Amino acid sequence: MIKIKYISHSTILLIINNIYLLVDPFFTNNPILKNKNIRNFNKIDYILITHAHIDHTKDVCNIYNIYKPKIISNYEICNYYNKNFQINKYINLNFGSYLKINNDLYIKYVYALHSSSFPDGTYGGSAGGFIIKYKNKYIYISGDTDIFYDMKNFNIKFNLIILPIGGIYTMDYKTAYLASNLLKSYNIMGVHYNTFIEIKINKKKILNYFKNKGKNINLLKEYEKIII
């Protein structure tokens, strides 16, 4: 069983057999997040960072100082936190094979079509996403990206794909539908919307759009969860 809790924007908590994975922590200065208390969690074992933009990394250090998790990201991002904040618990990846967490849980860093830099201008390496494999279940967390044809080549039957739908900085919901076709997935979770005026969406319109296309899209409320 995998629990996926939507926090806000692209911040997601996955609970997999008592392992807590927090993706792209953005609590502080998040304009739509009501509950910004980062001490609410039982624990955080890993922080997964897709890319370096501030709306995906704002609270990495704050989370680390409380829970002491390992950071999982690319070499440039891990090196940045080690060099600037003396964070020495990390696993740096690049695009390639799965990282084994335990006998049932594997994580793979995969390509995303997006830019990546820290607020101080430091290069954040290539933007990415993650494929989470737990036993016979698969979740794709795309990170900030537009559609790219190689999504088709993952050749995985995903139980859930997590895609941005706000447009402007990422794909919009219509492109997310096309991406779901490449990924051969029926079950989608939308992220990266409504946080800023540029990425405001009409939830009802999008829910109906996917329903009419014969697919399910989850647009969750703050701290709402789904289980797969």
pLDDT of the residue at 2: 97
Decide: 98 and 106 in contact? Cβ < 8 Å.
Answer: yes
pLDDT of the residue at 196: 98
Whether the pTM exceeds 0.75: the reply is: yes
Q: Write phi, then psi, for 56 (nearest 5 degrees).
A: -125, -10
pLDDT of the residue at 72: 98
CATH architecture of the domain with range 2-221: 4-Layer Sandwich (3.60)
> Could you report the per-residue pLDDT of 153-188, keeping only the tens digit for each?
999 999 999 999 999 999 999 999 999 999 999 999
Q: Tokens 């690319």 identify what position? A: 74
CA distances from 6 to 64, 124, 142, 217 (A): 20, 25, 15, 13
Tell me the residue type at 40. Answer: N
pLDDT of the residue at 159: 98
Q: Tokens 């969860």 identify what position? A: 225
CA distances from 109 to 65, 69, 93, 207 (A): 24, 18, 7, 29
Which stretches of the chain score pLDDT less than 50?
none
pLDDT of the residue at 94: 96
- CA trace torsion 226, 90, 130, 148 (10° rounding): 140
Question: What's the mean per-residue pLDDT of the chain?
Answer: 98
Locate the domains of the chain by residue range: 2-221
